[in-house]
Amino acid sequence: MNAREIPRFFAVTTLVLSLGLAAALSSQSPPSSSLAVLSREGRRAIPITMVADQEFVALDDLTTLFQLTVREDALGAITVSYKGKTIVLTPDQALASVSGRLVSLPAPPSRTNRRWLVPEDFISRALALVYDAKLDLRKPSRLLIVGDMRVPRLTARYETLSPSTARLTIDATPRAQSTVTQETEHLTVKFDVDAIDAASPLLPPQPAPGIVTGVRIVDPTTVAVDLGPRFAGFRSTSLTVDAAQRVVLDLVGLVQSDAAPSQPPPPSPTTAPGPPEIPAFGQPASAFHTIAIDAGHGGEDEGVHSADGAKEKDLTLTVARRVKNIIEARLGLRVLLTRDDDRNVPMDERTALANNNKADLFISLHANGSMRRTTTGAAIFCAEFDKDAAQAAATGGAERLPTFGGGSRDIEMVLWDLAQTRHLTQSEGFAGMLERQFHDRVPMASRSIDRAPLRVLESANMPAVLVELGYLTNPEQAKLLMSDVFQNTAAQAIFEAIVRFRESLAPGGTQ
């Protein structure tokens, strides 16, 4: 934020707060409030006076704000001038002559305490016709926007779809793009606009304990969705509905123990197409306890470099830590990182950590590189073996070996370098789930799932994939990859794919 933006920040903050206050007081009578005037130069407020249930503003306030001149002649007519254009008002008449053209007003001008008051609509019906810049009066919000500013109106709706799922819908009108990210205690929806026009809180506090406890405005362009103790995950979708841009947050929560599991979910009352249903978290799952996350490269092995010096080893470690934090916080599973600092870990040690700890899933994180700077997109790799290797793995099996104290037992022999051959089907299943989670959130390569003889996957004795998050050799994508927004989004997508994979392994689950 630069010095020029600081007054604007405070101004718009005040605007949002005042809008919230106005909304809170709107049910009271008589309202005593002000009209917020928002422009590139900042924010001003002019008082609103109620006269016979009509909202009026003082003409001299408008004079100061818009550099008008006001003259009252002997017959009582009021002439408002702006750059050679005139508006003539007549006491006791709900009309105005704007450059010779008559327009109606909801009420005639009113004189109070030696000041002329004009109906609020004077601004949109008369002043807007002569003023240089666009004047957008939003009476419900008590907001006047001067000039071409992007200030969409936000409306929100919260629906409980089932005991474990809910949907929050936020419409921005006119359309405005937004980005959803996850923080520790809340989701933030940041809009790419000058300001947002919304009451705060956007939604009243939700009954506790819930998935969401409230939705509020935290800064002039950002909405915060406060997460309740049952929150387990979310998926966001953006779609266009008429003149609005709609953000749909599908939220999932842990099922409460006293919730009736056989109760069918109520039909969704949504009016717009929503994203596919997401699985309920916290359902009984199979023995799926440990996940190994491999942050690719490290130490002297820096991996791919971007043109401005970003390193693959740093990106992979950051995303690995974020994935670990999300999984541990939401699922309570054990997460192993093959490295949690900047050091080089030999390839075999990475898989050995997963194998020795009997991890149920192995995910190796990487960033890609190409000889061509325009190559872009994320991709997911599974291991690939040649026919001889697959055959060798197939012929391996149990051997009867003597045990301590006499006797013998069957010991399963797994060829270290071919351990992954037994898990390829599940690895590909997980790759598909991950690809679906990535698809709408991060740029994908034209072929997003591939097989290759990748060293780090071959020895993994569990389902295993290698994720290429994108191309650091592509300058635009490098900036994206190193951003918090991307890293959180990727971590969230990986987390949700893990949830789905875990459920597919549960009794009755399918891949």
Output Rg (C-alpha) for the chain, integer angstroms.
31
Strand partners of residue 203: 215
Smallest gap, in angstroms, from Cβ of residue 378 to another protein?
11
The residue count for binding another protein (CB under 8 A) is 38
Q: Is 372 in the site for another protein (CB under 8 A)?
A: yes
Q: For residue 122, which of 109, 112, 113 has the smallest C-alpha distance?
A: 109
* Contacts (CB under 8 A) with another protein, residues 279-318: 296-297, 301, 303-305, 312
Sort strands 290-295 and 361-368 into parallel, antiparallel or unpaired: parallel
Q: How far is the CB of 322 from another protein (least distance, A)?
A: 21
- Amino acid of residue 104: S
CB closer to another protein out of 147 and 396: 396
466 binds another protein (CB under 8 A): yes
Cβ-based nearer residue to another protein, 442 or 466: 466
285-to-66, 279, 436 alpha-carbon distances in Å: 66, 12, 21
Q: Does 473 bind another protein (CB under 8 A)?
A: yes
Comparing CB distances to another protein, the nearer of 381 and 438 is 381
Cβ contact 477:392 at 8 Å: no
Nearer to another protein (CB atom), residue 164 or residue 420: 420
- Residue pair 456/466 in contact (Cβ under 8 Å)? The answer is yes
User: 101: part of which helix (H) or strand (E)?
Assistant: strand 101-104
Closest separation between CB of residue 339 and another protein, Å? Answer: 13
Residues 342-371 that bind another protein (CB under 8 A): 347, 366-371
Minimum CB separation from another protein for residue 433, in Å? 20
Binding mask 443-462 for another protein (x = CB under 8 A): --xxx--xxxxxxx-x----
Confirm if 24 and 15 have CB atoms less than 8 A apart.
Answer: no
What's the distance, CA 71 to chain centroid?
Answer: 53
- Is the Cβ of residue 24 or residue 307 nearer to another protein in the bound state? 307
Q: Which of residues 398-437 bind another protein (CB under 8 A)?
A: 417
| 52 phi, psi to nearest 5 deg | 50, 50
Q: Say how far apart CA 350 and CA 296 lie, in whole Å.
A: 9
Residues 110-149, interacting with another protein (CB under 8 A): none
Q: Identify which range of 149-157, 394-402, 423-431, 469-477 contacts another protein by CB under 8 A.
A: 469-477
Strand pairing of 54-58 and 49-51? Answer: antiparallel
85 vs 305, beta carbon nearer another protein = 305
First to last CA, the chain: 48
Using DSSP's 3-state secondary structure scheme, residue 508 falls into: coil
CA-based nearest residue to 138, from 37, 25, 32: 37
Minimum separation from the CB atom of position 320 to another protein (A): 15
Site string for another protein, 13-52 (x = CB under 8 A): ----------------------------------------
Alpha carbon 450 to chain centroid, angstroms:
29
Smallest distance, another protein to C-beta of residue 461, A: 16
Taking contact as CB under 8 A, which single stretch among the options 125-133, 151-159, 169-177, 439-447 is the one that binds another protein?
439-447
Nearest to 495 by CA among 246, 216, 182: 182
Q: Give contact residues for another protein (rule: CB under 8 A).
A: 296-297, 301, 303-305, 312, 347, 366-372, 374-375, 379, 381, 386, 389, 417, 445-447, 450-456, 458, 466, 468, 471-473
